[in-house]
Homo-oligomer: A and B are copies of this chain.
């Protein structure tokens, strides 16, 4: 995920965009809120305004580079778009996010949408619970 991806997406290669992409690529936790990105950038010595972070993340989303999730709570969570789709396990105590894939569920979903006459465009499956370390 580099500057080429930006150009390919029709986006000028600007410092904020490069830095944000860098954070998304390299941060330990790769499920981040806009604020998280803002804070991480600051910590790495870059000053990018929140407004720009929101704008850039939205552009990245539209360009298909990033996914936006609406987990519980107020703020959105962003992650680099993974090559293979996955769903999420979210710890309601510490907020940790884990990923999983389940083909059976994927297939059932397709079938459910189909049976209901829907053309499925997307889906969101989130399992909430208490993670090992929080129990």
Q: Which A positions have Cβ atoms within 8 angstroms of B?
A: 70-72, 89, 91-92, 98, 100, 102, 104-105, 108-109, 112-113, 116-132, 135
Q: Does B100 contact A112, Cβ atoms closer than 8 Å? A: yes
Q: Which residue of B lies closest to A104 (CB)?
A: B108
Which of B91, B102, B109, B130 sits near A127, CB closer than 8 Å? B109
Task: Name the distance in Å between A90's Cβ and chain B's nearest Cβ.
Answer: 9
Determine the chain B residues whose CB is within 8 A of the CB of A126 once the complex forms: 123-125
Q: How far is the CA of A117 from the CA of B129 in the complex (A)?
A: 10
The chain B residue with its CB closest to the CB of A109 is: B127
| Chain B residues positioned under 8 Å from A120 (CB to CB) | 127-129
Instruction: For A132, list chain B residues within 8 Å (CB).
Output: 116-118
Across the A-B interface, the 9 shortest Cβ-Cβ residue pairs: A118-B129, A117-B132, A120-B129, A122-B128, A119-B130, A123-B127, A125-B125, A124-B126, A121-B129
